[in-house]
Amino acid sequence: QAKNSAERDAVPYHSGLETGALHKKRLGFALRSAIEEQQLSVVYQPIVRASDLAVVSLEALVRWDSKEFGRVSPADFIPVAEETGVIHDIGRFVFQRACEDLAAWPGLKISVNVSPVQLRDPNFANDLAAIARRNGVVPNRFKLELTEGLLVRNPTIAKRKLARLKSMGFGLSLDDFGTGFSSIGYLRQFPFDWLKIDKSFVSELGTNPTANALIQSMIALGDAMDIAVVAEGIETPEQLKLLRLLQCEFVQGYHLAKPMSASDVTALLARLGEGRRMFAGGADSGY
């Protein structure tokens, strides 16, 4: 501890970078024992049908409460976990937890994020199937969320792996769509069920005409290819209103619901009742 702060103080130039690298190393070290020490948990964010605001699915998102660093954002620790290989254990942990939790939520799908590093593991598909089987859960309760980077780097292998997962019953969702390099023709080669429009487009809805046009064309693309479109990061009633006008099928974001614990999901669903509609009145409530 004392040595680390001394090292930090001794670096006069580029100290931000130096401590950044050191910080990453320390994060990576702490992350190795995070699962065993029960510092990881899983929260769930509802995905909602735009027309009636019914909850259709829940996205599992990992959380890390470190003794040393406090709450660390996945944006900071997932890249470290990928570099150190701990991502494989984290992935299995999240999937196991999701299998346990979804028993309380019949009729709902669960989306699970998968890093390209996990997919590279030759045992990935078999591991997931084994965990699902052990928990008495069928793979079609799940959608695996993947990002474009994976497809671009090695399309032939990615195509084979995705086809295999699909044949096992897993649904597939293309996350952060629009931020990578995927072309339309390219997308056709992959068996995605869902396409998630990245929140960077949604945040500019209504203020940047280009964002509106881009979202509109992504929705048209989804329609043409029979892929359901989900818009991420809806933070305002205006954004929701515009997405409904553009006939976006599903929405997700703080305006609808924030990520929450499994017990909070259960309480929310109980409160919403049969129709699972997020706001009383749903489509007619002025949104």
Side-chain-facing half-sphere of 281: CA atoms under 13 Å:
4
Q: What is the C-alpha separation between 41 and 116, in angstroms, rounded?
A: 21
- Minimum CB separation of residue 2 from ligand C2E in Å reads 32
Q: What is the largest CA-CA distance in the chain?
A: 62
Contact flag: residue 259 with ligand C2E (CB under 6 A) = yes
Name which of residues 218 to 247 contact ligand C2E (CB under 6 A): 232-235
Q: Which residue is nearest to Mg ion (CB)?
A: 145
DSSP string, 86-133: THHHHHHHHHHHHHHHGGGSTT-EEEEE--HHHHHSTTHHHHHHHHHH
Contact flag: residue 113 with Mg ion (CB under 5 A) = yes
Q: Which of 253, 265, 276, 278 binds ligand C2E (CB under 6 A)?
A: 253
- Exposure letters 166-183 (e unless 16+ CB within 10 A, then b): beeebbbbbbbbbeeebe
Q: Which is nearer to ligand C2E, 148 or 232 (CB)?
A: 232
Q: Which of 18, 127, 176, 235 binds Mg ion (CB under 5 A)?
A: 176
- Minimum CB separation of residue 176 from Mg ion in Å reads 4
Q: Which of 47, 48, 55, 94 binds ligand C2E (CB under 6 A)?
A: 94
What are the structure tokens assigned to 84, written together?
């150190």
Contact flag: residue 57 with ligand C2E (CB under 6 A) = no
Phi-psi sector, 42: left (phi>0), alpha (psi -120 to 50), beta: beta
Contact flag: residue 175 with Mg ion (CB under 5 A) = yes
Contact residues: ligand C2E, CB under 6 A: 45, 61-62, 73-75, 78, 94, 113-115, 145, 175-176, 199, 232-235, 253-254, 259
